[in-house]
Amino acid sequence: MNIQSTPVDDLLEQLKAPFPKESHKARKLPGGSYYIYVPWDCYVDRLNQLLGLNWSISYSDPIVVGDYLSVRAQLTIASEVGITIRDGLGTTRTFPELNDEGKEKIIGDPPNNATREALRDACHQFGMGRYLDNQAEVCNLLQVKDPQTLYVQTSRPKKPGEISREQWQAKKAANQ
């Protein structure tokens, strides 16, 4: 894409456009409800698609305050009118809570999770994914009555012969 040929207003509208339905995922929340979100890599794909090499992002070193780790992101976009910079903040628990089964409630490590959240937050400052703040509107947009259907559809399919962690632990215990 040639930045000089795309008016800034058009570029901003393209950045703000809802992500394709298949990009949306659902996360189960405590209490049984679901939150629809778009993974961080979809934001990066959109930036690459619309801006090519005309964007960059930098991150602060992680800062730990109490039980939380924070990272600041600075997203820079070059357009026909110059350079525009927006900041985002990502925060996560330094030591994730455990669920009833003794497993961490989050997937991934805290620094990466905070970095990805900071990227999404910086993108939100340009309007990307901002529609996700209103979950009822997201359901209408995606024509989904129950967000749980996204959760079921987006869970990773098992490969032939693959077993769950619980099945593996049971086999390991049986062989000891």
Listed by start position, the domains of the chain span: 3-174
pLDDT tens digits, one per residue of 57-70: 999 999 999 999 99
CB 70 within 8 A of CB 110: no
| Average pLDDT value over all residues in the chain | 85
Measured CA to CA, the distance from residue 45 to residue 37 in angstroms comes to 15
> Could you count the other beta carbons within 10 Å of the beta carbon of residue 41?
11
Given a cut of 90, whether residue 30 has pLDDT beyond it is: no
Superfamily of domain 3-174: DNA repair protein Rad52/59/22 (3.30.390.80)
pLDDT tens digits, one per residue of 42-53: 999 999 999 999
Listed ranges 18-32, 55-69, 106-120, 135-149; the one with the highest mean pLDDT: 55-69
Q: What is the dihedral of CA 99, 103, 108, 110, to 10 degrees?
A: 60
Measured CA to CA, the distance from residue 129 to residue 120 in angstroms comes to 8
Q: What is the dihedral of CA 63, 89, 56, 85, to 10 degrees?
A: -120
Look at residues 84, 66, 67 and name the one whose alpha carbon lies nearest to residue 75: 84
pTM check: above 0.85: no
Q: Could you list the beta-strand ranges (E) of 110-160.
A: none
Q: Which residue has the tokens 């000089």?
A: 4
